[in-house]
Structure 1
């Protein structure tokens, strides 16, 4: 479907990009992205995918906005305190880009509903701090052959990767599964929540924006996704490194 004059004006900087252009923007406008987790990583993902003009955003998160969220989850305001995050996120999207179709789902994922909630997505983005949820989402995306962008945070470090085990490498063989990177869930003492160890407020924004880029590049078709690669960013040094895994 051709872009309207209003869309052409809104996305003008995308349209003049040689490797994205009008055709890439049309793909973004027709895409459906499911975002699991509307917290530290989900908030910047929501902001930049809404700005990019993703046609439909489904946001899944059971939590409500708390005062401690506001320092790093900047799509929320004090007026949103106590409100479901997904509803506050939907209001943010409506204010930024009212053309986007938003589906806010204030519920938890489990084996009984994950398949239905992720169905029909062009890309799934997972940014929770729960490894059981990450494993569950990864298994469902594998079954449905949906590419999965996944991120994680520490106090001063973050990481992201893309899973698409159903896609074959040019050199032969498939790209690795979730289990290749996380063969087992970490022990609670090895992965304490940010409530206990803290997290630098800018870190989720940096890593979450990178995650949004992975979804945009997959849909629009530019660049190389982080398939079989883990990007690790350090806020202490400002450096990123990429490691391969099989």
Structure 2
């Protein structure tokens, strides 16, 4: 594990509030296993049962589902720092509804569920914090997925965009904020075609509703935006 990957490890949500030296010490008792996946290598398949989650140390993973006609659909991209498979490993007997594939050469750190949940004499206090962090990660994903369901139920792409931006405004309390990720990530999250999303955002800019640069947005007219929220 190089220093950049170690920094990702120390700063990820699963180890939040745990000192870097303690994180390093915990890897042994957690039976953590680092593995390299070359580009386009399958990490796990649809139907697989997981007993460990994967922390992305470097690279990118993509989750894909398959529709009735056999077409692969991108569900999510997971970049460095993301915890993948945590919800699934914590659900006994559940099988993966998606393929997870390395979009580029990637380094993953696998953390077995039973080792996270079982304490140890050496660092049981830190294990308690680790378990709390895991519950927080799963809870945040639940609420994020619930919110995404509300976006996808919107009548139009514009309404989905407006809802997403308005929610971020409420969360940050600022008219200027970064959504993080790429335009493609936002399109995937809102269930939209990237080109269609870019066209709609450009129209909203022309109408004086917002301005943007890469992943940073600035709401120019909160009144106009809230009208689109509905």
TM-score relative to the length of structure 1: 0.25
TM-score relative to the length of structure 2: 0.26
Higher strand share: 2
Higher helix share: 2
